Amino acid sequence: MRVITGEARGRRLITLEGEDVRPTTDKVKEGMFNIIQFDLPEANVLDLFAGSGQLGIEAISRGAKHCSFVDASKRSLDVVRENLKACGFEKRASTFSGDSISYISLSREIFDVVFLDPPYRKGIIDKVLPILADKMSDGGVIVCETSFEEKLPESAGDFSIAREYKYGKIKLTTYRKKQ
């Protein structure tokens, strides 16, 4: 796993091992960042199910101003912190340990780009989206990574599905504010 482009291009990132870990492949990550490339400069980003932090780190590498990394696993956040340090991005990031819904509910931040890559087939995105929609900037984008067969809500608050992209068994769904 590596940073694809930007300031930290080519930097190898570490990840946890195990059945619960499912890092985003380079092919899917490259597609994802092609979709949102113009949303990233100076963006305030949220990597809600951070894992190793690779999505938020890629966003910072490509020009995001700041990224908040949230994960319920303290071990995952230790990996995120190591990866941030290896890339020199500690000052442009914050890490939070805890439940995604609690974090969003309590946060006072407004986000421009949000990555949602929770465990597949658990209905987590359905619960998170309605709360998250109120924490988004007007031009914000929410990017969800799910299994190909997962059905996501058509809308959440003022946000609705803008587009879906398929990469083998993986689906990326973007939500943007309704016009």
Residue 100 pLDDT level (bands cut at 50, 70, 90): very high
| Residue 161 pLDDT exceeds 90 | yes
Extract the tokens encoding 75. 């071990």
* Full-model pTM: 0.93
Alpha-carbon distance of 35 to 102, in angstroms, equals 29
pLDDT tens digit sequence for 103-152: 999 999 999 999 999 988 888 999 999 999 999 999 999 999 999 999 99
The percentage of residues in the chain with a pLDDT greater than 70, rounded to a whole number, is: 97
**Measured distance CA(94)–CA(90) in Å, rounded:** 8
pLDDT on residue 18: 58
The CA distances from residue 54 to 47, 88, 155, 156, in Å, are: 9, 14, 27, 26
| pLDDT computed for residue 122 by the predictor | 86
CATH of domain 26-177: 3.40.50.150
Compute the mean pLDDT over every residue in the chain, rounded to the nearest whole number.
Answer: 92
Q: What's the confidence (pLDDT) of residue 116?
A: 95
